[in-house]
Amino acid sequence: MAPETKARGFVGELVDLVGAVTRAMRVTLINLFRKPVTVHYPDVTREYPDRFRGVLALVYDKETGEEACIGCRLCEYICPPQVIKVEMLKAEKRNYAKTFTLELYACEFCELCVQVCPTDAIIMMKSFDVATADRRELLFDKDRLHAVGLQFEPSWATGNLLRDMQSPPKAAKTEGAHGKAGGSE
Partner 1 sequence: MPDMPAPLYYFIVAFVVLNAVIGMVTYVTLLERKFAARMQSRIGPYRVGPHGLLQPIADALKLMMKEDVVPTLADRSVYNLAPIVFLVPCMLIFATIPFAPGLGVADLNIGILFFLAVSAMEIVGLFMAGWGSNNKYALLSAMRAVNQIISYDLPFIFAALVPVVLAGSLRLSDIAAAQAGFWPWLLPHWFIFYPVIGQLAFIAYIVTTLAAENRVPFDILEAESELVAGFRVEYSGMKFALIQLGEYAHAIGTSFLGALLFLGAWSGPGPAWLGAFWFLLKAMLVFLIITWIRWSFVRIRVDQILAISWKLMLPASLLLLMGSAAWVAWRSAGGA
Partner 2 sequence: MTDPEARKVIELGYGGSERLTMNMGPQHPSAHGVFRAILTLEGETVAAVDAVIGYLHRCHEKLGESLTYTQYPSIASKTDYVAAMTSELAYVRAAEIVGKFEVPKRAQYLRVLVAELQRIASHCLWLGTWCLDMGGALGGGATVFLYCIRERETVLDLFEALVGARLLYGFHQVGGTRYDLPAGWTEKCRKTVDTIDQRINEYEDMLEGNAFFLVRTQGVGVISRELAQEVGISGPLIRGSGVAYDVRRAEPYSSYEDFDFKVPVETAGDCYARYRVRMQEFRESIKIVRQALDGLPEGPISSRPGVKSVGQVRVGKGEGYARVEGARGEVGCYLVADGGAKPYRMKWRGASFSNLAVLPHIIPGHKVADVVAIMGSVDPVFGEVDR
The reply on whether position 42 binds partner 2 by CB under 8 A is: no
With CB under 5 to 8 Å by kind, the binding choice for 133 among partner 2, partner 1, none is none
Closer CB to partner 2, residue 118 or residue 143? 118
Q: Nearer Cβ to partner 2, position 80 or 150?
A: 80
3-state secondary structure of 87: strand
CA distances, 104 to each of 63, 76, 126, 132, 181 (Å):
29, 13, 15, 12, 35
Q: Would you count residue 112 as binding partner 2 (CB under 8 A)?
A: yes
What string marks each residue from 26 to 65 as x (binds partner 1 by CB under 8 A) or -?
-xxx-xx-xxxxx-x-------------------------
Classify 130 in phi/psi space as left (phi over 0), alpha (psi -120 to 50) or beta.
Answer: alpha
CB 103 within 8 A of CB 136: no
* Selection from 79, 111, 117 nearest residue 97 by Cα: 117
Q: Is 121 helix (H, G, I), strand (E, B) or coil?
A: coil
Chain positions 53 to 72 lying near partner 2, rule: CB under 8 A, are 53
In angstroms, what is the minimal distance from the CB of 92 to partner 2? 25
Residues 131-150 interacting with partner 2 (rule: CB under 8 A): none
Binding interface with partner 1 (CB under 8 A): 21, 24-25, 27-29, 31-32, 34-38, 40
